[in-house]
Structures are given as C-alpha cells and as structure tokens.
Amino acid sequence: MKIKILLLLTSYLLPLTSLNAEFLRDDTNQIVLDKNTNLVWQDDIHTTTYTWENAISYCENLDLAGYTNWKLPNINELKTIVDDTIYSPSIYSEFKNTVSSDYWSSTTNASITSHAWTVYINVGATYYDDKTYFKYVRCVRSGQ
C-alpha cells in the first residue's frame, strides 16, 4: 500500500510516495526486485545511450550481481516500474539511478517494424521511435 503525502514548498504541492512494499532494493548489487512480477531490475549507474540493436546486445552481455541472464525488457515489463503518481522521473523511488529520458523496450512496433516501443521516464509515457535513435537502457531478468 502506498501512502501519498503532499508537501507545501514555495507555493507548490509536491507529491511524495512512501517506500513501496512491492519493491526491494539491493544497494550492494544495485538491483531492484519487483515482488509482484518477480522481475529483477538493473539499477547501477549507467549513463550511456544505445541504438535499439545495441541495447539488446548490451543487456544480453550484462554481468551484474552475479547473473548473466539479463535481457532488454518488453514494453509491458518496462511499464511496471513506472509510478504515474510522480514526475521527473515517473519511476518508483527504489530506483536510484535513473535519467529522466527515454528507455528502450524490446518490443517492435507491429505497424512500423523499423520502430520500437519506449518509455519516457520523465512522465511515464509510452511511444515508439526509430530503432537507430539513441536511448537509455534498464535491463531485467527473471527472479525465478
């Protein structure tokens, strides 16, 4: 259960969300476990952008927290970490290393196959973009 608190700061109302019991953060390994989906998310400091094909390759070759079975998330997986009650970034507070920008999913747009679905983490919006553009990456693996 999330608790929303409004804080009055210089005439602006800012929504604050308490730590979400659905996520567990491992600071040592810089990963986040989503207890609802049983997915483990990369959350190390990573500021490089990639084309879609290079993003897939990056995740497939990632060695993090003792695991090598990482992948680029599909659009439905990526949307599960969006917190639409906050902005800039619209991601649950357990994710500490986030750029308020576009993140690739592995999902190709069915109508325009040269495009893939992305999430604009700043506001949590989904859209598609050309696979040759450079976007951020957050890899995922099954927690089994």
Residue 27 banded pLDDT, cuts 50, 70, 90: very high
**Confidence bin at 29 (pLDDT 50/70/90):** very high
**Residue 45: band (very low, low, confident or very high) from pLDDT cuts 50, 70, 90:** confident
39-42 and 31-34 as β-strands: parallel, antiparallel, unpaired?
A: antiparallel
Tokens 């897939």: give the residue.
56
Q: Which pLDDT tens digit goes with each residue over 80-136?
A: 999 999 999 999 999 999 999 999 999 999 999 999 999 999 999 999 999 999 999
Q: 23-26 and 31-34 as β-strands: parallel, antiparallel, unpaired?
A: antiparallel
Instruction: Kindly calculate the radius of gyration of the chain based on its CA atoms and give it in whole angstroms.
Output: 15
Which DSSP letter does residue 39 get?
E
